[in-house]
């Protein structure tokens, strides 16, 4: 199946899920707020897929994450009835087994955000910035963390602007003052695991892996930058 066809099929399935979960969400205002970034992301993906076509693996990872997010948006993350589902269908309580007092669906999605989105970020970095070796794993890891931090700041700003019950529902802290830090830590852990998996695959399949890694850590430019670079640029201007 072509990448274009694969993207179109996943987009259609996601759109169907979106429409179904848009029916009678628990909190319509929170649902709308949760989907602001989804709308922006969907527009960017649709507008750019011809010029930058992701691998089918990346499209699949993005699709899974977006589908999980829509479930959280429908119920609000703090009320996703995963434990009720397990009890009614399997006579098993995950919360009871783990000793949890809160709904942990949001924590799962933050972890899966790192695990699923780190590779698409790596694909963007390696194909545009042409990152290789160590940096081809390290910077996508850092970018995933930075995106997680940015989202937490967006959540905080939105909660400040809207306030009240909507702000509380959107933050979904469930009384945990360290909620944002834990969410970022889980996203970081997911991204770290994802990059370890990619490294393991490349170690297995890429014959020049060690050489490329070593080359990427060599100093390519021995002269200092900073004020020395400014002086060099000024000198070049004077010569022109």
> % helix / strand / coil in the chain, to the nearest 5?
75, 0, 25
Element spanning 80, H or E: none
User: How many Å apart are CA 81 and CA 5, to the nearest integer?
Assistant: 34
User: How many Å apart are CA 100 and CA 130, to the nearest integer?
Assistant: 44
Reported for 77-82, long-range contacts at CB under 8 A and 24+ positions apart, including other chains, are: 77/103, 77/105, 77/106, 77/109, 77/172, 78/102, 78/103, 78/105, 78/106, 78/169, 78/172, 78/174, 79/26, 79/103, 80/105
- pLDDT bracket for residue 199 (50, 70, 90): very high
Question: Among positive and negative, which fits the CA dihedral 126, 128, 131, 136?
Answer: negative
pLDDT at 189 over 90: yes
Q: Is 192 exposed, middle or buried (0-12, 13-18, 19+ CB in 10 A)?
A: middle
State pTM to two decimals.
0.90
- pLDDT bracket for residue 167 (50, 70, 90): low
Backbone angles phi, psi at 63, to 5 degrees: -60, -45
pLDDT at 239 over 80: no
Alpha helices in 76-127 (DSSP H): 82-90, 94-98, 105-124
pLDDT digits (tens, 9 = 90+) for 114-149: 999 999 999 999 999 988 899 999 999 999 999 999
């Amino acid at each position: 199946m072509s990448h274009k066809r694969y993207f179109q099929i996943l987009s259609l399935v996601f759109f169907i899920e979106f429409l179904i979960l848009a029916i009678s969400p628990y909190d319509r205002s929170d649902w709308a707020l949760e989907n602001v970034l989804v709308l922006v992301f969907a527009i960017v993906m649709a507008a750019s897929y011809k010029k930058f076509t992701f691998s089918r693996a990346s499209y699949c990872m993005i699709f899974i994450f977006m589908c999980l997010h829509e479930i959280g948006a429908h119920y609000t993350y703090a009320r996703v009835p995963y434990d009720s589902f397990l009890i009614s269908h399997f006579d098993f309580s995950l919360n009871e087994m783990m000793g949890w007092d809160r709904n942990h669906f949001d924590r799962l999605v933050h972890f899966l955000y790192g695990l699923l989105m780190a590779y698409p970020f790596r694909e963007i970095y390696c194909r545009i910035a042409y990152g290789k070796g160590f940096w081809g794993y390290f910077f996508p890891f850092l970018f995933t963390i930075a995106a997680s931090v940015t989202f937490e700041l967006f959540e905080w700003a939105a909660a400040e602007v809207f306030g009240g019950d909507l702000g509380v529902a959107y933050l979904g802290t469930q009384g945990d003052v360290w909620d944002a830090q834990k969410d970022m830590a889980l996203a970081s852990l997911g991204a770290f695991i994802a990059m370890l998996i990619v490294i393991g695959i490349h170690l297995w399949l890429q014959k020049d892996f060690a050489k490329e890694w070593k080359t990427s850590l060599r100093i390519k430019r021995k002269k200092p930058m900073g004020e020395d670079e400014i002086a060099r640029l000024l000198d070049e201007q004077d010569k022109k």
